[in-house]
């Protein structure tokens, strides 16, 4: 089944590089992949699910590479490296992604699902960089990174290889902006966490049974 999924994803991206994404049918993808419609159905329930499979495939390509010497770098530098590594994994599919992105702009109803996929991918990109995505600011951090990724992704689509200077510059700016935002949120969250701890201690004290002989 894993081989069928991989074949379907690769066939879909090959066809997406050649024509409008909405013009590609499940039958087209199955024929290109050399699988039956039954095999396609077993692998993915829809074309959108196959696109999600592509996203997971890219995630895996990024996550299987260790940080190496960057493991002792700052969190920001580690995240920069991880996200650039993600662009490297996407590079062979740039023409297909350009057509898929054009489809997204023509079909905004899909944006919610694409955002969900992106947020989940960014969760693992943060983990790969050794950055926590939990806690009071976790959801904001993930959504902010997903939006930043989307903005840089649009620049990358038309950037000049092999150095992708505009992409690197844009990513650097976005991470700097995000660092300031998260730092501000953490400072706001700290007093709230302290108040919550105080409140919890007071509730525990008020609810504790009175000692024997106490009024």
Q: pLDDT per residue over 40-61, tens digit each?
A: 999 999 999 999 999 999 999 9
Over range 6-11, report the average pLDDT.
97
What gap in Å lies between CA 18 and CA 20, rounded to an integer?
7
CA atoms within 13 A on the CB side of 142: 19
Note the pLDDT of residue 211. 45
pLDDT band at 134 (very low <50, low <70, confident <90, very high): confident
Q: Which helix (H) or strand (E) holds 8?
A: helix 2-16
Over range 118-140, report the average pLDDT.
89
What gap in Å lies between CA 93 and CA 98, rounded to an integer?
9
Residue predicted with more confidence, 177 or 189 = 177
Domains, in order of start, for the chain = 2-206 (1.10.357.10)
What gap in Å lies between CA 170 and CA 112, rounded to an integer?
24
- Residue 133 confidence (pLDDT) above 50: yes
Token output for 27? 């039958």
What gap in Å lies between CA 29 and CA 47, rounded to an integer?
9
pLDDT band at 65 (very low <50, low <70, confident <90, very high): confident
Over range 169-180, report the average pLDDT.
91
- Residue 212 confidence (pLDDT) above 70: no
What gap in Å lies between CA 53 and CA 194, rounded to an integer?
42
Q: Which residues, 6 or more positions from 113, have their beta carbon under 8 angstroms from its beta carbon? A: 48
Note the pLDDT of residue 208. 58
Supply the mean pLDDT for the chain.
86
Note the pLDDT of residue 153. 97
Percent of the chain with pLDDT over 90: 63
Report yes or no: 128 and 58 within 8 Å, Cβ to Cβ.
Answer: no
pLDDT band at 115 (very low <50, low <70, confident <90, very high): very high
């Amino acid at each position: 089944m894993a081989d069928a999924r991989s074949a379907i994803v690769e066939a879909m991206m090959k066809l997406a590089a050649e024509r409008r994404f909405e013009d590609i049918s499940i039958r087209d993808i199955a024929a290109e992949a050399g699988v039956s419609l039954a095999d396609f159905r077993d692998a993915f329930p829809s074309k959108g699910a196959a696109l999600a499979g592509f996203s997971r495939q890219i995630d895996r390509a990024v996550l299987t590479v260790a940080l190496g010497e960057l493991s002792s770098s700052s969190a920001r530098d580690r995240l920069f490296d991880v996200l650039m590594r993600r662009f490297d994994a996407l590079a062979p599919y740039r023409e297909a992604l350009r057509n898929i992105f054009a489809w997204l702009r023509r079909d905004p109803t899909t944006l919610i699902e694409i955002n969900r996929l992106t947020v989940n991918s960014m969760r693992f990109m943060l983990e790969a960089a050794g950055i926590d995505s939990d806690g009071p600011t976790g959801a904001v951090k993930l959504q902010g990174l997903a939006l930043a990724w989307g903005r840089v992704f649009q620049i990358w689509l038309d950037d000049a290889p092999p150095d992708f200077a505009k992409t690197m510059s844009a990513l650097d700016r976005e991470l700097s902006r995000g660092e300031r935002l998260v730092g501000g949120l953490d400072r706001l969250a700290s007093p709230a966490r302290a108040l919550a701890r105080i409140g919890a201690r007071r509730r525990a004290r008020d609810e504790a049974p009175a000692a024997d002989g106490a009024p």
